Amino acid sequence: MDGETLRGRLETDESASLSLLGSPRFLRAAAGGDPAPEPLLDAAAESEHAARETFRAWVADESDAEARAAFESVVDQEHDHRERVAAELDGWAPDDGGAGPMHAYLRGRDATVQRIAGGMVGRPLVTLRTHGRLIAFFEGRDGDVAARRADLFRDLRAETAAVLDEGLALLDDRCAGDEDWETVRMVAGYTIRVAGDDTADALRSLEIDPDVEE
């Protein structure tokens, strides 16, 4: 296996979760009801903040110098993403309610390849879907503000895609055989499923069937 094969395998194996995360149902889960700009922006800022904190924790104890440098770069990027999204809100501050299921899982990873697989492959595959849905949401609204926000998420999505490419390249350099690739496939896949399950649970709490497309 190699990085691109891994990506294709994940997109096939985790297609149900990825489809939900890229669907209009995701917007309802993220907004806690009918989609509206402010709660969606708030949820996006929280997501960027959680990612920043995950990678900051990894930088503190990562022994692989190249991986640590990559994690530091993601910290800077996620901080920038958080600030750019927060600038669209009045007086935004991070919620102290915890990391959320996906980032709680990621923060429990100690091995370098597992961190790369979860944080720089599984997580970006999730984010590409959710950012794509946010782009579509703001594209569907009138006015210069909505257009600016669609452009914002378009830029964030492109920058996240670059993280995914780097993560796959790092795994190509570190996975020595089938056992390594199977490990990273399981970690990245589980990361995606946790995000999908979290969205499904949020929908059920709103009495929305996550399996019924809108």
Domains plus CATH for the chain?
A: 3-205 (1.20.910.10)
CA distances from 31 to 38, 51, 103, 122 (A): 8, 19, 19, 23
**Cα(185)–Cα(5) distance, rounded to whole angstroms?**
10
**What is the phi/psi pair of residue 212, to 5°?**
-105, 115
Per-residue pLDDT tens over the stretch 42-65:
999 999 999 999 999 999 999 999
Query: Quick one: pLDDT at residue 212?
Result: 84
CA distances from 22 to 133, 164, 208 (A): 5, 17, 16
Query: Quick one: pLDDT at residue 203?
Result: 98
Is a pLDDT exceeding 90 seen at residue 125?
yes
- Only one residue has tokens 């990027």, namely 77
Taking residues 14-25, report their average pLDDT. Answer: 98
Per-residue pLDDT tens over the stretch 167-195:
999 999 999 999 999 999 999 999 999 99
Query: Quick one: pLDDT at residue 99?
Result: 80
- Encoded tokens for 82: 């958080």
- The dihedral over CA atoms of 191, 193, 198, 204, expressed in degrees to the nearest 10, equals 180
Q: Taking the CB of residue 204, how many other CB atoms lie within 10 A of it?
A: 12
Is a pLDDT exceeding 80 seen at residue 155?
yes
Burial of residue 9 (number of CB atoms within 10 Å: 0-12, 13-18, 19+): middle
